[in-house]
Amino acid sequence: MESEDWPDQLFALLQAHRVRQVVVVPDAGHARLIRRVAASNDMRLIPLTTEEEGIAVLGGAWLGGQRGVVLMQSSGVGNCINMLSLAATCRIPVPMLITMRGDFGEFNPWQVPMGQATPTVLEAMGCTTGRADTPEDVAPVADAMLRLAFNTYRATACLIGQRVLGAKTFGK
Protein backbone atom coordinates (compact mmCIF):
# COMPACT_ATOMS: atom_id res chain seq x y z
CA MET A 1 0.00 0.00 0.00
CA GLU A 2 1.36 3.45 -0.92
CA SER A 3 2.20 5.83 1.89
CA GLU A 4 -0.27 8.45 0.63
CA ASP A 5 -3.04 5.93 1.18
CA TRP A 6 -3.08 6.65 4.91
CA PRO A 7 -6.70 7.95 4.87
CA ASP A 8 -7.79 4.61 3.42
CA GLN A 9 -5.72 2.82 6.04
CA LEU A 10 -7.54 4.84 8.71
CA PHE A 11 -10.88 3.80 7.24
CA ALA A 12 -9.82 0.16 7.37
CA LEU A 13 -8.84 0.65 11.02
CA LEU A 14 -12.26 2.11 11.87
CA GLN A 15 -13.84 -0.97 10.30
CA ALA A 16 -11.48 -3.31 12.15
CA HIS A 17 -12.27 -1.62 15.47
CA ARG A 18 -16.03 -1.90 14.83
CA VAL A 19 -16.58 1.86 14.95
CA ARG A 20 -20.23 2.76 14.31
CA GLN A 21 -20.51 6.49 15.00
CA VAL A 22 -18.04 8.95 13.44
CA VAL A 23 -18.44 12.50 14.75
CA VAL A 24 -16.85 15.19 12.65
CA VAL A 25 -15.97 18.82 12.27
CA PRO A 26 -14.19 18.72 8.93
CA ASP A 27 -10.58 19.36 8.10
CA ALA A 28 -9.10 19.24 4.63
CA GLY A 29 -6.69 16.57 5.88
CA HIS A 30 -9.62 14.30 6.75
CA ALA A 31 -11.62 14.96 3.56
CA ARG A 32 -10.91 11.56 2.02
CA LEU A 33 -11.63 9.65 5.23
CA ILE A 34 -14.89 11.59 5.70
CA ARG A 35 -15.95 10.62 2.16
CA ARG A 36 -15.22 6.95 2.92
CA VAL A 37 -17.26 7.10 6.14
CA ALA A 38 -20.15 8.87 4.40
CA ALA A 39 -20.25 6.08 1.81
CA SER A 40 -20.12 3.31 4.41
CA ASN A 41 -23.15 1.26 5.40
CA ASP A 42 -21.58 0.29 8.72
CA MET A 43 -20.74 3.73 10.05
CA ARG A 44 -22.88 6.75 10.69
CA LEU A 45 -21.33 10.11 9.85
CA ILE A 46 -22.44 12.72 12.38
CA PRO A 47 -21.41 16.27 11.43
CA LEU A 48 -21.19 18.62 14.41
CA THR A 49 -21.48 22.38 14.89
CA THR A 50 -18.59 22.33 17.39
CA GLU A 51 -16.18 19.57 18.37
CA GLU A 52 -17.26 19.28 22.02
CA GLU A 53 -20.62 17.95 20.82
CA GLY A 54 -18.81 14.88 19.57
CA ILE A 55 -17.44 13.93 22.99
CA ALA A 56 -20.98 13.85 24.38
CA VAL A 57 -22.33 11.93 21.37
CA LEU A 58 -19.67 9.28 21.89
CA GLY A 59 -20.63 9.10 25.57
CA GLY A 60 -24.21 8.32 24.62
CA ALA A 61 -23.09 5.85 21.95
CA TRP A 62 -21.00 3.99 24.54
CA LEU A 63 -23.95 3.85 26.97
CA GLY A 64 -25.90 2.29 24.12
CA GLY A 65 -23.22 -0.24 23.18
CA GLN A 66 -21.66 1.40 20.13
CA ARG A 67 -18.12 2.57 19.54
CA GLY A 68 -17.31 5.95 18.06
CA VAL A 69 -14.40 8.08 16.94
CA VAL A 70 -13.87 11.86 16.66
CA LEU A 71 -12.36 13.41 13.52
CA MET A 72 -11.26 17.02 13.85
CA GLN A 73 -8.42 19.48 13.39
CA SER A 74 -6.28 20.68 16.25
CA SER A 75 -8.11 24.01 16.54
CA GLY A 76 -11.12 22.00 17.74
CA VAL A 77 -9.30 20.54 20.71
CA GLY A 78 -9.75 23.73 22.71
CA ASN A 79 -13.49 23.54 22.16
CA CYS A 80 -13.53 20.10 23.79
CA ILE A 81 -11.76 20.80 27.08
CA ASN A 82 -14.59 20.68 29.63
CA MET A 83 -16.54 18.03 27.74
CA LEU A 84 -13.51 15.72 28.02
CA SER A 85 -14.46 15.54 31.73
CA LEU A 86 -17.12 13.09 30.60
CA ALA A 87 -14.55 10.67 29.17
CA ALA A 88 -12.24 11.06 32.17
CA THR A 89 -14.91 10.73 34.87
CA CYS A 90 -16.99 8.00 33.25
CA ARG A 91 -14.05 6.14 31.62
CA ILE A 92 -15.63 6.32 28.18
CA PRO A 93 -13.55 5.37 25.14
CA VAL A 94 -13.07 8.54 23.07
CA PRO A 95 -10.44 8.06 20.36
CA MET A 96 -9.70 11.23 18.41
CA LEU A 97 -7.93 11.41 15.06
CA ILE A 98 -6.64 14.97 14.93
CA THR A 99 -5.07 16.68 11.94
CA MET A 100 -2.60 19.33 13.09
CA ARG A 101 -2.69 23.00 12.16
CA GLY A 102 -0.37 25.71 13.47
CA ASP A 103 2.39 23.19 13.11
CA PHE A 104 4.98 22.33 10.42
CA GLY A 105 5.25 25.29 8.00
CA GLU A 106 1.96 27.00 9.01
CA PHE A 107 1.03 30.15 7.03
CA ASN A 108 -1.89 31.40 9.17
CA PRO A 109 -0.80 32.96 12.48
CA TRP A 110 -4.29 32.52 13.98
CA GLN A 111 -3.85 28.73 13.85
CA VAL A 112 -0.58 28.68 15.76
CA PRO A 113 -1.63 29.25 19.43
CA MET A 114 -4.11 26.36 19.55
CA GLY A 115 -1.97 24.13 17.36
CA GLN A 116 1.03 24.57 19.62
CA ALA A 117 -1.08 24.08 22.75
CA THR A 118 -2.90 20.98 21.48
CA PRO A 119 -0.74 18.25 23.08
CA THR A 120 -0.56 20.16 26.39
CA VAL A 121 -4.31 20.72 26.51
CA LEU A 122 -5.09 17.09 25.73
CA GLU A 123 -2.63 15.82 28.32
CA ALA A 124 -3.99 18.27 30.91
CA MET A 125 -7.41 16.61 30.47
CA GLY A 126 -5.99 13.13 30.95
CA CYS A 127 -5.91 12.20 27.30
CA THR A 128 -3.12 9.94 26.06
CA THR A 129 -1.56 11.18 22.83
CA GLY A 130 0.56 9.73 20.06
CA ARG A 131 1.95 11.55 17.07
CA ALA A 132 2.65 10.67 13.44
CA ASP A 133 4.90 12.90 11.33
CA THR A 134 5.32 10.59 8.35
CA PRO A 135 2.59 8.97 6.23
CA GLU A 136 3.94 5.55 7.18
CA ASP A 137 3.41 6.28 10.87
CA VAL A 138 -0.24 7.39 10.66
CA ALA A 139 -1.92 3.98 10.63
CA PRO A 140 0.27 2.35 13.32
CA VAL A 141 -0.13 5.31 15.69
CA ALA A 142 -3.87 5.54 15.03
CA ASP A 143 -4.24 1.80 15.62
CA ALA A 144 -2.38 2.10 18.92
CA MET A 145 -4.59 5.00 20.04
CA LEU A 146 -7.80 3.20 19.01
CA ARG A 147 -6.69 0.10 20.92
CA LEU A 148 -5.77 2.14 23.97
CA ALA A 149 -9.14 3.92 23.92
CA PHE A 150 -11.36 0.86 23.46
CA ASN A 151 -9.36 -1.63 25.52
CA THR A 152 -8.58 0.65 28.46
CA TYR A 153 -11.65 2.96 28.41
CA ARG A 154 -10.23 6.46 28.02
CA ALA A 155 -9.78 9.41 25.70
CA THR A 156 -6.83 9.13 23.34
CA ALA A 157 -5.57 11.22 20.45
CA CYS A 158 -3.60 10.44 17.32
CA LEU A 159 -2.02 13.71 16.21
CA ILE A 160 -1.35 13.72 12.48
CA GLY A 161 1.40 16.27 11.90
CA GLN A 162 1.15 19.03 9.35
CA ARG A 163 4.27 17.60 7.71
CA VAL A 164 2.09 14.65 6.63
CA LEU A 165 -0.74 16.86 5.43
CA GLY A 166 1.18 19.75 3.91
CA ALA A 167 0.61 23.32 5.08
CA LYS A 168 -2.12 25.36 3.43
CA THR A 169 -0.28 28.29 1.84
CA PHE A 170 -3.09 30.45 0.41
CA GLY A 171 -1.12 30.75 -2.84
CA LYS A 172 1.96 32.21 -1.10
Partner 1 sequence: MVDVSAAGLLQRRSLVPALLADRGDLLVIAGLGAPAWDITAAGDHLLSFPMWGAMGGAALMGLGLALAQPDRRVLVLTGDGEMLMGMGALATIAVQAPKNLAIVVLDNERYGETGGQVTHTGLGVDLVGIAGASGFTNLCRVTQPAEVPALRDAIHTALGPFFASVKIDPANEPLALPPRDGVYLTTRFRGALLGDAAHLE
- Which residues of the shown chain bind partner 1 in the complex (CB under 8 A)? 20-21, 44, 46-50, 52-53, 55-66, 68, 82-83, 85-86, 89-92, 150
Minimum CB distance to partner 1 smaller for 92 or for 132: 92
Minimum CB distance to partner 1 smaller for 78 or for 140: 78
Minimum CB distance to partner 1 smaller for 1 or for 90: 90
Cβ 140 to partner 1, closest distance in Å?
Answer: 23
Cβ 162 to partner 1, closest distance in Å?
Answer: 27
End-to-end CA distance of the chain: 32
Minimum CB distance to partner 1 smaller for 10 or for 92: 92
Cβ 20 to partner 1, closest distance in Å?
Answer: 7
Cβ 54 to partner 1, closest distance in Å?
Answer: 8
